[in-house]
Structure 1
Amino acid sequence: MSEFLTALGDYAFLQTALLAGLLASVGCGVIGTFVVVKRIAFMAGGIAHSVLGGMGAALYFGLDPFAGALVAAILSALLIGAVRLAWKTQEDTMIGALWAIGMAIGVLFIAKTPGYASDLMSFLFGNILLVPTRELWLMAGLDLVLILTVALFYRQFLAVTFDEEFARLRGVPVTFFYLLLLCLVAVTVVLLIQVVGLILVIALLTLPAAIAGHYVRSLGVMMLVATLLGGLFTSLGLALSFGPDLPAGPTMILLAGGVYLASALLSHRLARHRALRRVTAA
C-alpha cells in the first residue's frame, strides 16, 4: 500500500486511474441502486455485452470506441426495453439473443480492423491504467447527466421502480420513464467499462448497491452508501493490484465480491438474531 501511495504522487497515469474509478463509482451507486431494487441486472447485462458491437464498429471505422460504446449502449437499452414491454413471455430468450449478437458483431469488427487487436482484452476486462485524461471530462459529464436526471425525476423513478401499476394509475408515463431508466443504466455501463470492462461491469454495478441494501431501506441513503462503497472498492482494488502487478479490474471485483459475501452472512445472522429476540420477548 505504501508503494502505491508513493507512486501515486509520482505518476500521472495512476492519478488519472484513481479519478476514473471515483467518477465511475457515482454512476455505480446512483443507477446501481435502481438496478438492484428493480431486479433488472440481467437486462443491464444484456446492455453491457451488446456494447461490444458499438465499440468494435467504432474501432473499425477509426472513431472513438468510447463514443461507439455510448451509442450502442443507448440503442441496446431502448431495444431491450421494447422487447421487455412487447414480449414479456420471451423476455429472457430475446435479451440473451441480443447479448450474444452484440458480442459477435463486436468481435467480427475487431477481427477485421487493420493491425493487432490489442484493445479486445481491455474492452472485455477493462484497463483503468490506460484511461486517457480527456475521457475524465466525458465521464464527469456523464455523471452530471445521471445525477441531474435522477434528481429531476426522482419521484417518477421511485414509482416506476417499486410499483409500475400504481404509477400508471397515478398518471405517470411508465413506459417513458422505464425506457429512460434503462438509458441511464446504459450510460452507467459505459462509465464502468472504462474501469472493469464489459465482462465484469454487472458486478460493480450491483454489488455496492446490494451491500448497502443489507443495512439501509431509504433509496436515497442506499445510493449514497453504494457510491461510497464503489469508490472504496475501485480505489482499494487499484492500490492492492499495483504492488503484485495484477489486473486492476478483476482485483476490484474480487474485493467487492468478498465484502458482499461477508455482508450477506452478517446481515443474515443479524436478521436471525432479531427474529429470535422477538420470539423470546413474546
Structure 2
Amino acid sequence: MTAYELFAEPLAYGFMVRALVATVTAAAVCAVLSCWLVLIGWSLMGDAVSHAVLPGVVLAYVLGLPFALGAAVFGFLAVGLIGVVRDSGRVKEDAAIGIVFTTLFALGLVLVSVTPSQTDLDHVVFGNLLGVARADLAQITALGAVVLVALLLKRRDFTLYAFDPVHAHAIGLNPRLLGGALLGLLALTCVVALQVVGVVLVVAMLIIPGATARLLTDRFGRMLVLAPASSVGAAVLGLYLSYHLNTASGATVVVVQGAVFAAAHLFAPRHGVLGRRIAANRRATS
C-alpha cells in the first residue's frame, strides 16, 4: 500500500471524516486552554471538571436532553462546589478538588450501572470517536468555536491573571471573575472533548499540549501556537494509527500526545533532559 493510499483510504468513510474533524477541533480547543491551565497550576482542576461531568451526561440521557447540556451543568456545579468547600473551612484546594470530583465521578458510575439504556453509556467514560454523528459534530464545532473565540478575545487578561493576579487587580481587572471565566471555559471544553476521548482521557488532552509547549519555549505567545500545533498533529496521527492498527481511537490519540511530550522532555533544546546535558557539555568544552 502506498503512502497516498494509507492517507486516503480512511477518508472514504463518512465516520472517519467526522471523527477527524471532531478530534482536530477538540485537540485545538483543549491545547489552547491547556496553556493557561499549565501556567496557573490547574492540572488537577482540569481532572476534576472532566470527571465530574459524568453524572450530568447520564441524567441528560434519562431526561431525553442533549448530553452537552447535562455535562455543562455538572461541570459548572463541580466548579462551584470546589469553591464552596475551599472557602468555607480548613480544607485546602487540592483536598476540595479531590473530594468533589471523586464523589461526582463515583455518582456517575453508579448512575451508569443502574440506568437501563439502549445507548452504551460506557462510551461516555472511554470515548466513542468513531461513533460521532452529524449532530454531535455540529455541537462539538459550535462549542469549540465559542471557547476559542472567548480565549483569544480575553487572552491578555487571562495571561496577566496567570502570571500576576495581584497586578491584574491593581490595574482594575477582577482576578476572581477572570478565574471563574476560565473555569467556565474549562467546563465547556470538557464537553467538547467528552465524545472524542471520553471522561477518563479528557484530562490528558487538557494538560499534555500545554506542558509540551512549555518545554519548547519560554514565551507564552509561542506556547499558544506550539500547543495546538503539536496537539492537532498528534490527534491526526493517532486517529490514522488507530484505523490502520485497529486500536481504540481516543486512547491512541492520547498515547501519541504522550509520545510527543516524552520527545520534548528528552530533546527540547533548553529544557529537555538531553538538551540540557548537551548544552552543559558544550559550555564545559568551550
TM-score by length of 2: 0.90
Cα distance in 2 between the residues matched to 1:38 and 1:280: 38
Q: Share of identical aligned residues, percent?
A: 31
Q: 5 Å matches for 1:40-79?
A: 40-79=42-81
Letter in 2 for 1:164: P
Deviations 1:208-258 (A, max 9, x none): 221111112222221221111111111111111112321111111111112
Cα distance in 2 between the residues matched to 1:194 and 1:16: 12
Q: Residue 277 of structure 2 aligns with which residue?
A: 272
- Cα distance, 1:178–1:115 mapped onto 2, change above 3 Å: closer
Cα distance in 2 between the residues matched to 1:43 and 1:230: 20
Cα distance in 2 between the residues matched to 1:139 and 1:124: 17
Three-state SS of the structure 2 residue aligned to 1:243 is helix
Q: 5 Å matches for 1:22-101?
A: 22-84=24-86, 89-101=91-103
1:197 shift after superposition: 0.9
Q: Which runs of 5+ in 1 are unaligned?
A: none
1:199 shift after superposition: 0.7
Deviates more, 1:13-22 or 1:80-89: 80-89
The one of 11, 15, 18 aligned to 1:9: 11
Cα distance in 1 between the residues matched to 2:182 and 2:111: 29
Q: Residue 111 of structure 2 aligns with which residue?
A: 109
Contact 1:13–1:130, Cα closer than 8 Å, also in 2: yes
CA-based RMSD of the aligned residues comes to 2.1
Contact 1:35–1:41, Cα closer than 8 Å, also in 2: yes
Contact 2:51–2:199, Cα closer than 8 Å, also in 1: yes
Cα distance in 1 between the residues matched to 2:37 and 2:274: 25
Contact 2:204–2:254, Cα closer than 8 Å, also in 1: yes
Cα distance in 2 between the residues matched to 1:88 and 1:245: 49
1:107 shift after superposition: 2.1
1:82 shift after superposition: 4.7
1:140 shift after superposition: 1.8
Q: Which runs of 5+ in 2 are unaligned?
A: none
- Cα distance, 1:116–1:220 mapped onto 2, change above 3 Å: same
Cα distance in 1 between the residues matched to 2:18 and 2:284: 53
1:27 shift after superposition: 1.0
- Cα distance, 1:92–1:26 mapped onto 2, change above 3 Å: same
Q: Residue 214 of structure 1 aligns with which residue?
A: 215
Deviates more, 1:103-112 or 1:235-244: 103-112
Cα distance in 2 between the residues matched to 1:82 and 1:225: 35
